[in-house]
């Protein structure tokens, strides 16, 4: 249908190194501004992947959405994943690499060993 066609034909935005650094700085600032709320959800969902995906991913998507939208990404989970992917060409830059790791840590569960 039309929605699938839109998502499959629109390539994700490409970022220059300068744009990538600015976008990462904006994203990290948004995470830091919401650290208390994010940390509370991390603690609440620790070890429960389903709950993490239901609570943390929408929270982080909401907090980063407006920041990444300014760079041409959608303000949702697919947009965040595209944004993370768009940092790859610049990941060797220490600033970008550190920011990418911090953003991924916010949306990827930190699972311990199986019990």
Each residue's pLDDT tens digit, 69-101: 999 999 988 899 899 999 999 999 999 999 999
Say what the pTM is: 0.81
pLDDT of residue 10: 67
Residues 6+ positions from 63 with CB-CB distance below 8 Å: 30, 31, 33, 34, 38
Which residues in the chain come in under a pLDDT of 50? 1-2, 112-115
- The sign one gets for the Cα dihedral 18, 94, 84, 24 is negative
């Amino acid at each position: 249908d039309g929605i699938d066609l839109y998502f499959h034909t629109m390539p994700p935005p490409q970022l220059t190194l300068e744009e990538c650094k600015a976008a990462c700085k904006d994203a990290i600032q948004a995470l830091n501004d919401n650290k208390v709320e994010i940390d509370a959800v991390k603690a609440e969902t620790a070890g429960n992947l389903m709950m993490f995906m239901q609570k943390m991913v929408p929270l982080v998507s909401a907090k980063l959405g407006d920041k990444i939208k300014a760079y041409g990404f959608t303000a949702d989970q697919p947009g965040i994943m595209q944004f993370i992917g768009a940092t790859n060409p610049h990941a060797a830059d220490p600033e970008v690499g550190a920011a990418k790791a911090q953003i991924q840590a916010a949306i990827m569960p930190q699972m311990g060993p199986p019990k």
